[in-house]
Amino acid sequence: MRDTLRVKVVTYGLLAVFVIMVAVPLFWMVTTAIKTNKELYEDFSYFPQRPTLENFVRVIVREKLLTNIRNSFSVAMITTLITVIVSSLAAYSIVRYRYPGREWIGRIILFKYLLPSAMLFVPLYVIVTALGLGNTQQGLILTYLTFTIPFCTWMLMGYFRGMPVELEEQAMVDGCTKIGAMLRVLLPLSAPGLVASAIFSFTLAWNEFLLALVITMDQSTMTVPIKLSMMVVGDQYIWGQLMAGAVLASIPVGILYFIGQRFVVQGLAAGAVKS
């Protein structure tokens, strides 16, 4: 589709605006991470005068942040994996099967979000401990599933509904079972939705604070947000280290998203069997 010059100008213009909008706070974060302590607290400067990597070194060596990043990563990945699988199955069930009560389940699934985490985390922790999963990654993952699955199921329900049934029916006429039709036809076509669900799941699990605070007890299980909060020591923020930690924590996820983007395009190309 050829774009007129005007459309191109508007598009790139808006893009520039958005990029600046996102970049300014990020820039602030990164420059804070490379300023010396002295620079941070005495005079204000837009750019670091004497950039240094000492905050990063401190955060990696002294605080051992890489362990926490690894913890966050594995918790988020496993949560995402289970979520996408379970949600796809559930969404497929609600949308393509008929049985009593399925519409109500579709509705009630959302009600989970009505109560704030400030209320729910106590009983959640009670359950996790009762199962013997206190201070474990498994315990954390279990609680994270409670807020990733409802949303992803709902999202995928929307996607699946928008997919023409005829394609699956065609596959079944060609000899597939219902499940097979899902795996061979529906899921590939829903790749963007699946990837979006995966990204949401991952991010929710990656950033979660309250449950991780309560469930994790030591360095071996602590996730990144909790570790970063410990860089607010008493009544002082250790700004340099905090921002260095934040930058380090954002890099792996940023890379993951960059790759995920490409996967969406590939998935679409693979499943482009329309009409």
Q: Which of residues 43-102 bind other proteins (CB under 8 A)?
A: 44, 46, 82, 85-87, 89-90, 92-100, 102
Q: How far is the CB of 49 from other proteins (least distance, A)?
A: 15
**Helix (H) / strand (E) containing 49:** none
Residue number, 37 or 52, with CB nearest to other proteins: 37
User: What single-letter amino acid sits at 223?
Assistant: T
DSSP symbol at 112: G
Q: How far is the CB of 4 from other proteins (least distance, A)?
A: 9
Tokens coding 197:
């669900």
Long-range contacts of 256-262 (CB under 8 A, 24+ apart): 256/202, 257/199, 260/195, 260/198, 260/199
Query: Are 144 and 82 spatial neighbours (Cβ–Cβ below 8 Å)?
Result: no
Query: Are 91 and 153 spatial neighbours (Cβ–Cβ below 8 Å)?
Result: yes
Neighbours of 71 (CB within 10 A): 22
Q: How far is the CB of 156 from other proteins (least distance, A)?
A: 9
Residue list 166-185, contact with other proteins (CB under 8 A)? 168-169, 172-173, 175-181
Q: How many residues bind other proteins (CB under 8 A)?
A: 142
Residue list 222-251, contact with other proteins (CB under 8 A)? 224-225, 228-230, 232-237, 239, 242-243, 246, 249-250
Residue number, 70 or 161, with CB nearest to other proteins: 161
Q: How far is the CB of 53 from other proteins (least distance, A)?
A: 18
Q: Is 19 in the site for other proteins (CB under 8 A)?
A: yes
Residue number, 56 or 206, with CB nearest to other proteins: 206
- In this chain, which of 59, 68, 80, 193 binds other proteins, going by CB under 8 A? 193
DSSP symbol at 218: S
Residue list 204-223, contact with other proteins (CB under 8 A)? 206-207, 209-210, 213-214, 217-218
Residue list 134-163, contact with other proteins (CB under 8 A)? 134, 136, 138, 141-143, 145-146, 149-151, 153-155, 157-162
Query: Are 201 and 80 spatial neighbours (Cβ–Cβ below 8 Å)?
Result: yes
Looking up tokens 């699956």, which residue turns up? 168
Q: How far is the CB of 150 from other proteins (least distance, A)?
A: 7
What sign does the CA torsion over 91, 97, 101, 104 have?
A: positive
